[in-house]
Structure 1
Amino acid sequence: MSAQPGSQPGGSSAHGSPSATPEPGVTTLAPYSFPHHKLKRRQTQAGKTPLVLVACGSFSPITFLHLRMFEMASDFVRFNTNFEVCAGYLSPVSDAYKKVGLAAGHHRVNMCSRAVEQSTWLMVDPFETVNCDSQGEPKYVPTAQVLRHFDYEINTVLGGIEGTDGKMRKARIALLAGADLVMSMGEPGLWSPTDLDVILGQYGAFIIERSGTDVDEALSTLRQYESNIWVISQVIQNDISSTKVRLFLKKDLSVRYLIPDPAVEYIEEHQLFQDLSQPGKEKATAEEPSKPSTPQPAKC
């Protein structure tokens, strides 16, 4: 299914990069430019390293937990690190991910965009959802490539972040994810060692603890990246998940106060996540999602 060009946030010159040309070697389904309208271009804290947090995931649909992850990470960074958060990005996964319950990319981008509209520092990058292969079909984008994309757009195209002394500095790009993601990274054969070197070795990750997950066990197999992984305790437990929200919607139950109101309104407007056996309901994807032929890394 092709993304709808007119619905992609960041596609206008007001929110996108000076040039709408994608990075070298990238082909997109729709016109694309990198959103940076909320990116803090000049630091306010001397001596700190600028940091950009990136959450990769399905966001089908986005929940309050997804948004809270960013706020928890921001607080943790302020009190426990030598970084200064300059922006947070949600990067919805490509339709090629083929996950059960995955709404079409343009719907997920639009839901996320509406959910962060009032935020002063959170943005949605449609990059993954508009990537395509040589046949013009949606292309799966590995997490390592996503982080390289942000590095390129922020540090190469935009030239980094200006420090309090007026000098331009390279922003640190880091993955923001739940504990289930780092646990999958510790499973043999699921993640490419080369990709792990990029994600955890080159960039690093901020991990939000979740109930029912043993982060210490997962980290025991990732000791070589220990200095590049920051674990954040979830003081107020929140187990809202997109899977549970979809189940509520299929049963025609209310999901208000589980997900942002703008996302609720969008879902109702487009009749997303309804029981596909009911006639006249819009399908979340072009066809029933199938399991990929090869294992794909978990997306938060």
Structure 2
Amino acid sequence: MVSTPYLTDAFTHPPNYSFPHNRLSRVLRDPQKTPVVLVACGSFSPVTYLHLRMFEMAKDYVRHNTDFEIVGGYLSPVSDMYKKPGLLSARHRVNMCTLASEDSTTFLMVDPWEAFQSYQRTAIVLDHFDHEINTVLGGVHTEDGEHRNVRVMLLAGSDLISTMSEPGVWSYSDLEHILGRYGTFIVERAGSAIDQATDSLARWRSNIYLISQLIQNDVSSTKVRLFLRRGLSVRYLLPNSVVDYIEQNGLYLDDVTSSPINSNLEKGKDRDVAGGSQKKDVQQIC
């Protein structure tokens, strides 16, 4: 495993930022387990039940198939500087994620670090979580007081693993950092050729955990925005608190970029360039 993070000095922080850890379990229940924090990076514009459901599927998978113990989960909304078409302001997206997390599982939190500053690559975002949890907070401990470092892992939809297997989309150094140092849980989504994608990433196969979606759910933020633009109900696709927030603030009513004529957006193919490496839109998939 790669052991050196990209940034060894202090991270830059948005104004008045403090790392949320109110729901982070600081005591490991089973000393034989490895403590893990799940991080989902995405646009969350808006956050849907599928985003939340991913954490529950990962929790079930971890409990039945691994020697991990989940001590926390985070939604990390992307910065406005990502400049994705149809991207709502970070303030609204963070507010909606916060409302959703408060109504959901007891281990889920929202970290605004990524949202309120310049665009940060996924590898750097994971370094940030590793730094805050293991360096600043000092990790976790067992009931007997033994210190343990927490393993940070990316949680995403299977679309992500497909983009990682395509030449020129992700830099090799980022893949080595994300998959080699941290690892990822990938939730199956319809239309993604997972087996073929993982074959191309065989070097990191031991750090890639594939989670089957036993009840198919293809709700996406793109479809929700299209419904809202057409004046259709989105209740029971999103948490009620998020639906109320959207209605109260009149959001997405003029979101013309959600139109199906934008085939790239509908297929999750829009790209951006960061740090000299090209990466497909992971916001569509997590």
The TM-score bracket by the shorter chain reads 0.7 to 0.9
Query: Can you give the 5+ residue segments of structure 2 that lack an aligned partner in the other structure?
Result: 1-8, 257-269
Choose from 187, 207, 231 the match for 1:208: 187
Cα distance in structure 1, aligned partners of 2:81 and 2:159: 21
What corresponds to 1:223 in structure 2? 202
Amino acid at match of 1:90: L
Cα distance in structure 1, aligned partners of 2:144 and 2:280: 41
Alignment partner of 1:245 is 2:224 = yes
Please give the per-residue CA displacement for 1:64-99, whole angstroms capped at 9, x wherever unaligned: 000000000000000100000000000000111111
Cα distance in structure 2, aligned partners of 1:68 and 1:291: 26
Amino acid at match of 1:56: C
Closer/same/farther in 2, CA of residues 233 and 145 from structure 1, 3 Å limit? same
Cα distance in structure 2, aligned partners of 1:36 and 1:75: 22
Closer/same/farther in 2, CA of residues 159 and 238 from structure 1, 3 Å limit? same
Cα distance in structure 2, aligned partners of 1:247 and 1:57: 18
Cα distance in structure 2, aligned partners of 1:262 and 1:46: 37
Cα distance in structure 2, aligned partners of 1:123 and 1:292: 27
Alignment partner of 1:174 is 2:153 = yes
Closer/same/farther in 2, CA of residues 291 and 76 from structure 1, 3 Å limit? closer
Asked if structure 1 preserves the Cα contact closer than 8 Å seen for 2:271 and 2:280, the reply is no
TM-score, normalised with respect to structure 1: 0.83
What corresponds to 1:298 in structure 2? 281
Alignment partner of 1:54 is 2:33 = no
Cα distance in structure 2, aligned partners of 1:73 and 1:144: 20
What corresponds to 1:81 in structure 2? 66
267-276 or 51-60, which moves further after superposition? Answer: 267-276
Cα distance in structure 1, aligned partners of 2:241 and 2:85: 23
Cα distance in structure 2, aligned partners of 1:292 and 1:227: 29
What corresponds to 1:154 in structure 2? 133
Alignment partner of 1:70 is 2:49 = no
Closer/same/farther in 2, CA of residues 274 and 82 from structure 1, 3 Å limit? same
Closer/same/farther in 2, CA of residues 219 and 293 from structure 1, 3 Å limit? closer
Alignment partner of 1:165 is 2:153 = no
Bigger fraction of residues in strand: 2
Amino acid at match of 1:253: L
SS at match of 2:244: helix
What corresponds to 1:107 in structure 2? 92
SS at match of 1:154: helix
Closer/same/farther in 2, CA of residues 247 and 152 from structure 1, 3 Å limit? same
Alignment partner of 1:145 is 2:128 = no
Choose from 271, 280, 289 the match for 2:250: 271
Alignment partner of 1:122 is 2:108 = yes
Aligned residue-pair number: 258
| 1:49 Cα offset (Å) | 0.6
Query: Can you give the 5+ residue segments of structure 1 that lack an aligned partner in the other structure?
Result: 1-22, 132-138, 278-289
| 1:111 Cα offset (Å) | 0.1
Cα distance in structure 1, aligned partners of 2:140 and 2:273: 41
Cα distance in structure 2, aligned partners of 1:63 and 1:78: 24
Cα distance in structure 2, aligned partners of 1:204 and 1:185: 13
Alignment partner of 1:192 is 2:171 = yes
TM-score, normalised with respect to structure 2: 0.87
Please give the per-residue CA displacement for 1:127-163, whole angstroms capped at 9, x wherever unaligned: 11112xxxxxxx1110000000000000000000112
Cα distance in structure 1, aligned partners of 2:144 and 2:168: 46
Bigger fraction of residues in helix: 2
SS at match of 1:259: coil
Closer/same/farther in 2, CA of residues 190 and 32 from structure 1, 3 Å limit? same
Alignment partner of 1:36 is 2:21 = yes
